[in-house]
């Protein structure tokens, strides 16, 4: 059987599902074309801005993809669900913003792999949803509803359903303007769903949510700078990232500008954003 880190993963058969597409909400590097291209070249059928409800975010999880801290999203009120409200062209709302991507189902395993969640467990989850004549996002919502919205209990139920959880990111349901979607969240002190799988955020003792300025003080390297840019370039389609920009120094602004000397389109987006 294959293994994922220190966690045993059952080698499930390929998922059987009648779904053609799935909505995935991205709130970090997936918000930009640059970020999507850097890890597997995801090509969504459609991308739409959304305003996140009952959410706060920041850099705060050791990444699988280099010496950097990746984005974390948490509920403001843990007793209320996360939600995403689609925004029309020209429509504004308070940050944090994110993107809702319509992906072909065949692209979902690539997202799971990027987020550190087993593709085999995802296949089992899709099979489980198909057996219940449900889409995978709607199936996750049913699991969450059965726990009265308790995220820790939901993760335990998910672990019991597929025999796996991740120390990195875990798929969760999210309502996207009345449609079921999936969002990958990084577990923290509330747990991963299994006492045997310690979340990376807990293991590294990094449970705070940092702005771009704060994370740069922790990780002043090219890899972190590149990841910050992946997130901020969501501004190209009007995604508001004000929540990440508080206290950003002239040094970081100049470093971001230098990063794209050979990519004038991205450089211009950052110049407009950062002033």
- Quick: pLDDT tens for 134-154: 999 999 999 999 999 999 999
Going from N- to C-terminal start, the domains of the chain cover: 3-203
Task: Give me the pLDDT at residue 217, please.
Answer: 96
> DSSP code of 238?
T
Task: Give me the pLDDT at residue 14, please.
Answer: 39
Query: Strand 169-176 to strand 83-86: parallel, antiparallel, or no bridges (unpaired)?
Result: parallel
What whole-number distance in Å separates Cα of residue 272 and Cα of residue 257? 11
Task: Give me the pLDDT at residue 40, please.
Answer: 72
Of the candidates 59, 47, 96, 102, the residue with the CA atom closest to the CA atom of residue 75: 96
Contact between 166 and 118 under an 8 Å Cβ cutoff? The reply is: yes
pTM assigned to the model: 0.92
Confidence band, pLDDT 50/70/90 cuts, at residue 18:
low
Mean pLDDT of the chain: 92
For residues 38-65, give the mean pLDDT. Answer: 94
For residues 101-123, give the mean pLDDT. Answer: 96
Residues 6 or more apart whose Cβ sits within 8 Å of residue 95: 51, 240, 241, 242, 243
pLDDT in tens, 174-206: 999 999 999 999 999 999 999 999 999 999 999
């Amino acid at each position: 059987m294959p293994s994922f880190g220190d966690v045993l993963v059952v080698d499930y058969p390929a998922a059987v599902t009648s779904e053609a597409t799935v909505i995935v909400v991205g709130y970090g590097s997936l918000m930009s074309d640059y970020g999507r291209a850097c890890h597997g070249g995801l090509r969504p059928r459609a991308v739409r801005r959304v305003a996140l409800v009952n959410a706060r975010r920041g850099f705060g999880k050791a990444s699988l993809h280099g010496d950097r801290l990746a984005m974390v999203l948490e509920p403001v009120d843990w007793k209320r669900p996360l939600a995403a409200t689609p925004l029309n062209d020209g429509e504004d709302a308070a940050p944090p913003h994110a993107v809702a991507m319509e992906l072909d189902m065949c692209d979902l395993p690539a997202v799971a792999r990027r987020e550190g969640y087993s593709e085999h467990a995802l296949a089992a989850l899709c099979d489980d949803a198909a057996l219940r004549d449900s889409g995978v996002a709607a199936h996750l919502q049913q699991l969450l509803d059965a726990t009265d919205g308790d995220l820790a209990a939901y993760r335990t139920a998910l672990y019991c359903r597929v025999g796996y959880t991740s120390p990195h990111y875990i798929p969760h349901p999210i309502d996207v303007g009345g449609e079921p979607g999936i969002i990958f969240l990084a577990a923290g002190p509330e747990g991963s769903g299994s006492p045997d799988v310690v979340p990376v955020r807990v293991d590294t003792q990094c449970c705070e949510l940092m702005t771009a300025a704060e994370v740069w003080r922790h990780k002043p390297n090219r890899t972190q700078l590149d990841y910050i840019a992946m997130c901020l370039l969501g501004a190209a389609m009007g995604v508001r990232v004000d929540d990440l920009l508080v206290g950003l120094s002239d040094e970081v602004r100049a470093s971001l500008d230098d990063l794209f000397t050979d990519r004038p389109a991205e450089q211009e987006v950052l110049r407009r954003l950062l002033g």
